[in-house]
Amino acid sequence: MKEYDIIVIGAGAGTKLVTPPSKIGKKVAVFEKETPGGTCLNRGCIPSKMVIYPSELIRMAADTEKFPVFFKEKPVADVTQIFKRVNETVKSDSDSIPIAYEKNPNIDYYPKEVRFIDSRILSDGKDTYTAKHIFVVTGTRPNIPDIPGLKNTPFWTSREALSPDKFPKSLIIIGAGFISLELGAAYKAYGCEVTGLTRTDVLRTADGEIKKELNKHLPFPIESHYQIEQVDFKDGIFTVTGINELGKKTIHSAERLLVATGIRPNTDNLGLENTKIKTNANGYIQVDDHLETAEPGIYAFGDVTGRYFFRHSANFEGEYLFDLLYGKKENQPINYPPMPEAVFTHPQIASVGFTEEELILKQIPYYKGLNPYSSSATGMARMSSSGFVKVLVSKETEQVLGAHIIGEEAANLIHQILLGMYLNAKLDDYLGMIYIHPAISEITRNAFRKVKEEKLKGAK
C-alpha cells in the first residue's frame, strides 16, 4: 500500500489541496480520471466565457444604429477560429498541470480512476493507497433526462457545444438555466437559429422581477412550460415533439440538440458504500460544518457536496480546508460570506443573497429599491432600454439582504454591493459614499435612494 499525507480525488478545485500543502512538505497524491483542471477549465467557466465574449462584440455592433453609428458591413465572426482558440488555450492550460506536478517531488499525479475499497483505503484496480487526509472533489456531470428516444441520438451536452466538430445552422436547447442561456446567446449571435425548450420557468430560481425582465429581452426564443414527448434523429436532423403551454402539440427541428437540464454528482463510482460516507437523496456527499464527511479524516468540497455550484465557492472551501488543517486557522467551522452568482447571457445577470420571494416566504420585513439603467446619467449615454439594479434591505438592521442586477456589466456592478454585505454596511453607508459621475455604479446608488424613499414614506 502506498501511503501519503494527502490524497486528492479530482484535479479541478481539488488543486487547492495539492500544491499549497506540498510546499510545506506534505506528500500528496492526486487522482484525475479525465483532463486535469476540472469542469471549470475544460468544459465550463473558462471556455464558455472565451466563446461568449466575442459574441458580445457582435451584439454591441448590432445595437449601434440607435446612437446613430453605422457600419458599412455587418461584423462576421470566424467561428471556426474562435472555437479553435478556445480549445487550444484550454488544452494548453490543462496539459500544464501534470507537467508542473511532475516537477514537484512532493506530488504524485495519477491520471486514473480510483475508488474506496475500505474506510480509508483506495484502489485503482491494481495498487492501493491511503492517507491521513483524503479529499473528495469529484464534481458533477450533466444530468440527462429520461426522454423517449433521446439516448439513441447524438445529442450534445455543454462539453460538445464548447467544442463542436461543425458549427450548426440551427440548434434546439432543452433546459433554460445558466448553460442554456449562456451558450444559446452566443450561438445565436454567431448566426445559429436557436430555440429553447423548458418544462418550467426560464432561470427557474431567479428573483421574480429578474425573470420578468429577462423574458422581455430573451437572447433567443424559449418556450417555457413545454412538455417534451419524444426526440428523434434522422438524416442529420433532430426532431423534438411536445406539448406547449397552451396544450397544443408542436414539433421543433434543428441540426443539433443541446441538453442542459441540470447536473448530477460524480459519486456513483467512488465505492462510498465501502465507507461511512453518507450521501443525500440526490447523491451529493454530506459534510459537517468543517466539510468533513461521516468518515473521520475524509473531507469533501466543491460541487460534489451540493452546497454551491461555482468555482469561486469551491476555491473558498479549498482555501478554508488548507488553513484549517495545515495553516494557522483555529478549529472554526466554515463561515461562508455572501455568495454571488452571475449568468453571462444577454442581458447579463448577477445576484447575491435572498430573492424577494424568499423574503416573503420567510416573513422577513424588507425595503425594496429598484432602479432601471435608463434612470441614470450613464443609462442616458448608453441609451439603455432594459436592465435594473434591485436591492432588498432589512427593515430591522438596514443591511442588504439581497441584490439582483440585470443589464450591462451586471457581474462587475454587483461587487460594490457584495463588499458592503461582507462588511455589514448599512443603508446610510451606501448613500454616504461619493460615486463617480456619470459612472454605471450610480445606478446602484439610485437603487439605494429608492430604498431611502420607501423608508421615509413608511415613517410618515
DSSP string, 156-190: B-HHHHTS-SS--SEEEEE--SHHHHHHHHHHHHT
Q: Is 175 known as a binding-site position? A: yes
Distance of CA 335 to the CA centre of its chain: 21
437 is catalytic: yes
Give CA–CA dist 343/66, Å, rounded: 26
- Name the phi and psi angles at 392, rounded to 5: -120, 115
- DSSP H or E stretch at residue 357: helix 356-362
Residues of 186-201 as b/e, b for ≥16 C-beta within 10 angstroms?
A: bbbbbebebbbbbbeb
The single-letter code of the amino acid at 224 is S
Q: Is 432 known as a binding-site position? A: no
- Of the candidates 172, 340, 133, 309, the one whose C-alpha atom is nearest the C-alpha of residue 253 is 172
Distance of CA 260 to the CA centre of its chain: 13
Q: Is 303 known as a binding-site position? A: yes
Q: Is 291 known as a binding-site position? A: no
- Of the candidates 160, 159, 134, the one whose C-alpha atom is nearest the C-alpha of residue 10 is 134
- DSSP H or E stretch at residue 361: helix 356-362
Q: Is 176 known as a binding-site position? A: yes
Give CA–CA dist 317/12, Å, rounded: 13
Q: Is 182 known as a binding-site position? A: yes
Q: Is 49 known as a binding-site position? A: yes
| Cell of residue 161, nine digits | 457545444
Give CA–CA dist 397/366, Å, rounded: 10
Positions of E strands within 279-396? 298-300, 340-343, 349-353, 366-372, 388-394
Give CA–CA dist 314/296, Å, rounded: 21
- Under a CB-based contact definition with an 8 Å cutoff, are residues 216 and 386 in contact? yes
Q: Is 180 known as a binding-site position? A: yes
Length of the chain: 460
Q: Is 320 helix (H, G, I), strand (E, B) or coil?
A: helix
- Under a CB-based contact definition with an 8 Å cutoff, are residues 187 and 162 in contact? no
Q: Is 177 known as a binding-site position? A: yes
Give CA–CA dist 117/438, Å, rounded: 62
Q: Which of 133, 225, 312, 437 is catalytic?
A: 437
Positions of E strands within 10-73? 28-31
* DSSP 8-state assignment for residue 14: G
- Of the candidates 54, 266, 9, the one whose C-alpha atom is nearest the C-alpha of residue 142 is 266
Q: Is 376 helix (H, G, I), strand (E, B) or coil?
A: coil
What residue numbers does the annotated binding site for FAD cover? 49, 303
**Active site members:** 437
In the annotated binding site for NAD(+), the residues are 175-182, 262
Could you list the residues known to form a binding site, using ranges: 49, 175-182, 262, 303
